[in-house]
């Protein structure tokens, strides 16, 4: 029935932290990756927004407290045997720190060979070599310059691209990339991002790009979800959200990004509220999670968490400023 | 508004810092000359391993073995910091120059109330004050960074990361230094706190007329607040000039690459997957040369060209 490759619906996830303390990492998040045309979807948010937890749930590494994660219509938590294996092959992951993803005692080839041994044990030696060369070449890496090298001999950018090659070996349908370029020097980032874009455009691989960095997201993604304290506050096409942000949080976030141009300096201090204790308590009691910092807050925001409303800019924003007129009297 | 003066507050001359280990010697800082002028913000940009943090530690005499200054002078006013006795150095530290290290919010003592940490900072640098005067001084520096004195009885964990970072800035300004050396002061913060903290630091510096050496990897951030900018690569400064000049007319290929690799939030550029240029190395040759007034560039060759 479902045409979705991956669907997360009504996801809640909490972690206990010490005695009787709980952190609500995700509080009712929906996300769909369609099985049709490949897309790169950015999940953006600051630390603690729940973006990495969302990635872990999509990978099936964590189970939701409430809601469901479905892969081709099947509950990921129920997958067993052959279908679980197929899910593991189809959905690959790249993480933040490429330096810790490799065993320092082995050449970087090791992780590529291991992957093939696990997923394609029938391949003979020549087949393995051909697959590896092909995957590295797809990422514009020269096999001769990579194979046989130990991790410390390669740059962070090269290591991350070898991780992309590892994922590409399995011809996945979806790659979940959690901050894949944030530990890589700026001058080498562009190549990794270009690789990601090419995996989508030439090889039809969809990606969830989890990041705090809207500027790099702009370069490669089609859609974006902005998370704040475990909830989606704004969602839409990349260009709509970044060109005309509708949620006060997205607006602040974009204003805070420095422009790489000394002639376009910040003119006035950022207009934001310093979270007062009273306002934060109000949030705890079920109001908008952004209330304490919002420059446009209203009393209305304390009553209940705003749902996602359609905005005039073709995005969805969880803010009462966008509540349709007819229902606002309720 | 008072602009940068011509007086030189800090002068680094031919500084070389090596990490000497059994297997190899790493030349982290390989002959750096740099002047910080009065009331100016000088940015120092570079990627990981460029030597920018080592440079700061060397200047502050906070290097730990195997790091060692092998050559050079660091003049602060008319004293050579590198030749100073530890005791005389302590008299200058904090009073004359302060340091805001990377992730300094975790430098606060977690089991001490903030008031004690402020008082300790005064006492450690030989400043005696009556309790009332002390309270007034604390309130003043906290206001300078947009905080209220009511946080003084609190412990560090009761504050957010951005607030802790502002507390560290307040501590650095406590004795009214002439020079602030800040190494990636906002890199551990989210983007909104980053802007708030950097704006705070810039305003607080301006208010006391101190000079600042601001070290960072984020060129966009440095573009916002620096008067002049130096770019470090492999332990050397490859380009130095007024920030506007450098962004408008970068000469060194490494500077050009750093600037062009900043993704633009407002424009989806076609990004290239051509790697060779991205992995290129430059061999630096000879001293910095002045290409126009105040704009210096170091001659270079690419590694490939010399292989023949």
pLDDT tens-digit map of A272-307 = 766 555 556 656 668 898 988 888 989 889 889 999
Those residues with Cβ within 8 angstroms of residue A54's Cβ, 6 or more apart along the chain or in another chain: A8, A11, A26, A29, A31, A43, A210, A227
- Whether the CB of A242 is below 8 Å from some CB of chain B: the reply is yes
Contact, A182 vs A120, CB < 8 A?
no
Chain A from 21 to 60: CB within 8 A of any B CB: 46-47
Those residues with Cβ within 8 angstroms of residue A131's Cβ, 6 or more apart along the chain or in another chain: A116, A120, A123, A169
By the 10 Å C-beta count (0-12 exposed, 13-18 middle, 19+ buried), A157 is classed as buried
Say how far apart CA B142 and CA B305 lie, in whole Å: 55
- Whether the CB of B194 is below 8 Å from some CB of chain A: the reply is yes
Residue with tokens 């990492």: A25
pLDDT at B35: 96
Q: Note whether B273 contacts A266, CB cutoff 8 Å.
A: no
Question: How close B255 gets to chain A, by Cα (Å)?
Answer: 10
Q: Is B39 inside any structural domain?
A: yes
Question: How close A326 gets to chain B, by Cα (Å)?
Answer: 34
Question: How close B88 gets to chain A, by Cα (Å)?
Answer: 39
Chain A from 196 to 225: CB within 8 A of any B CB: 197-198, 212-216, 218-220
Least confident span in A29-38, A226-235, A318-327, B81-90: A318-327
Number of structural domains, chain B?
1
Q: Is B288 inside any structural domain?
A: no
Q: Is B267 inside any structural domain?
A: no
pLDDT at A330: 44
Q: Is B234 inside any structural domain?
A: no
The string of pLDDT tens digits covering residues A96-109 is: 999 999 999 999 99
Q: Note whether A219 contacts B268, CB cutoff 8 Å.
A: yes
Q: For residue B59, what are the domain limits?
A: 8-226
Q: How far is CA B241 from CA B43, B254, B294, in A?
A: 10, 15, 6
Backbone angles phi, psi at B41, to 5 degrees: -110, 110
What count of residues does chain B have? 308
Question: How close B153 gets to chain A, by Cα (Å)?
Answer: 16
Contact, A101 vs A179, CB < 8 A?
no
Residue B264 has what DSSP assignment?
P
Mutate to test the interface with B, among A211, A251, A262 (most CBs of B within 10 A): A262
Q: Regarding the domain delimited by A4-243, which CATH topology (the fold level of the hierarchy) does it fall under?
A: Rossmann fold (3.40.50)
Least confident span in A248-262, B75-89, B130-144, B187-201: B187-201
Question: How close A123 gets to chain B, by Cα (Å)?
Answer: 30
Domains in chain A: boundaries: 4-243, 250-257+270-315
Q: Which residues are registered as beta bridge partners of B13?
A: B73
Those residues with Cβ within 8 angstroms of residue A184's Cβ, 6 or more apart along the chain or in another chain: A98, A156, A157, A160, A192
Structure tokens at B161: 């990361």
Is a pLDDT exceeding 60 seen at residue B307?
Answer: no
Contact, B47 vs A186, CB < 8 A?
yes
Q: Which residues of B touch A273 (CB under 8 A)?
A: none
Report the pLDDT averaged over residues A108-114: 95
The string of pLDDT tens digits covering residues A1-47 is: 457 999 999 999 998 877 777 888 999 999 999 998 999 999 999 88
Mutate to test the interface with B, among A99, A164, A187 (most CBs of B within 10 A): A187
CATH code assigned at B175: 3.40.50.300
């Amino acid at each position: 029935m479902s045409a979705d490759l991956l669907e997360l619906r009504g996801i809640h996830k909490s972690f206990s932290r010490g005695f009787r303390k709980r952190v609500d990492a995700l509080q009712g998040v929906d996300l769909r990756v369609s099985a049709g045309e490949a897309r790169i979807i950015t999940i953006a948010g600051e630390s603690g927004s729940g973006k990495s937890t969302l990635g872990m749930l999509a990978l099936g590494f964590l189970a939701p407290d409430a809601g469901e994660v479905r892969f081709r219509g099947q509950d990921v938590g129920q997958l067993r045997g052959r279908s679980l294996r197929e899910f593991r092959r189809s959905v690959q992951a790249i993480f933040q720190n490429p330096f810790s993803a490799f065993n320092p005692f082995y050449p970087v080839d090791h992780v590529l060979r291991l992957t093939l041994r696990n997923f394609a044990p029938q391949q003979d030696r020549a087949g393995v070599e051909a697959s590896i060369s092909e995957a590295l070449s797809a990422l514009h890496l020269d096999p001769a310059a990579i194979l046989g090298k130990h991790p410390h001999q390669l740059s962070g950018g090269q290591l991350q691209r070898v991780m992309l090659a590892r994922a590409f070996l399995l011809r996945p349908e979806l790659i979940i990339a959690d901050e894949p370029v944030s530990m890589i020097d700026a001058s080498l980032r562009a190549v990794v991002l270009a690789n990601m874009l090419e995996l989508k455009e030439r090889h039809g691989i969809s990606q969830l790009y989890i990041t705090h960095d809207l500027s790099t997201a702009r370069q490669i993604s089609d859609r974006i979800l902005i998370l704040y304290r475990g909830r989606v506050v704004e969602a839409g096409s990349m260009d709509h959200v970044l060109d005309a942000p509708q949620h006060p949080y997205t607006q602040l976030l974009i204003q805070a990004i420095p422009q790489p141009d000394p002639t376009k300096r910040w003119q006035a201090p950022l207009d934001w509220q310093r979270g007062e204790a009273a306002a934060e308590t109000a949030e705890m009691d079920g109001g908008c999670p952004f209330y304490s910092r919002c420059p446009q807050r209203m009393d209305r925001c304390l009553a209940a968490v705003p749902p996602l409303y359609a905005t005039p800019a073709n995005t969805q924003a969880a803010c009462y400023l966008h509540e349709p007129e007819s229902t606002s009297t309720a | 508004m008072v602009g940068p003066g011509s007086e030189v507050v800090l002068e680094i001359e031919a500084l070389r810092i090596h990490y000497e280990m059994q297997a190899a010697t790493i030349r982290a800082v390989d002959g750096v000359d740099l002047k910080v002028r009065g009331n100016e913000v000088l940015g120092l940009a570079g990627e990981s391993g460029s030597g920018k943090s080592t440079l700061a530690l060397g200047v502050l005499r906070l290097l730990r073995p195997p790091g060692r200054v092998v050559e050079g002078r660091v003049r602060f006013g008319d004293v050579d910091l590198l030749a100073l006795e530890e005791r005389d150095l302590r008299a200058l530290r904090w009073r004359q120059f302060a340091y805001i290290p990377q992730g300094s919010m975790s430098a606060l003592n977690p089991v001490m109330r903030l008031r004690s940490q402020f008082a300790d900072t005064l006492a450690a640098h030989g400043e005696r004050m009556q309790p009332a005067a002390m309270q007034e001084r604390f309130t003043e520096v906290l206001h300078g960074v947009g905080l209220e004195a009511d946080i003084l009885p609190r412990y560090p964990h009761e504050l957010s990361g951005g607030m802790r970072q502002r507390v560290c800035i307040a501590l650095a300004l406590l004795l009214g230094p002439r020079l602030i050396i800040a190494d990636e002061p906002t890199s551990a913060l989210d983007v909104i706190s980053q802007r708030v903290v950097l704006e705070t630091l810039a305003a607080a510096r301006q208010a006391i007329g101190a000079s600042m050496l601001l070290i960072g990897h984020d060129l966009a951030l440095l573009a916002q607040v620096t008067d002049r900018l130096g770019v470090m690569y492999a332990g050397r400064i490859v380009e130095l000039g007024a920030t506007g000049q450098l962004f408008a007319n970068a000469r060194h290929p490494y500077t050009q690459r750093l600037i062009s690799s900043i993704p633009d939030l407002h424009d989806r550029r076609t990004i290239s997957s051509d790697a060779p240029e991205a992995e290129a190395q430059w061999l630096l040759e000879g001293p910095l040369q002045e290409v126009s007034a105040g704009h210096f560039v170091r001659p270079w060759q690419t590694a490939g060209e010399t292989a023949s």
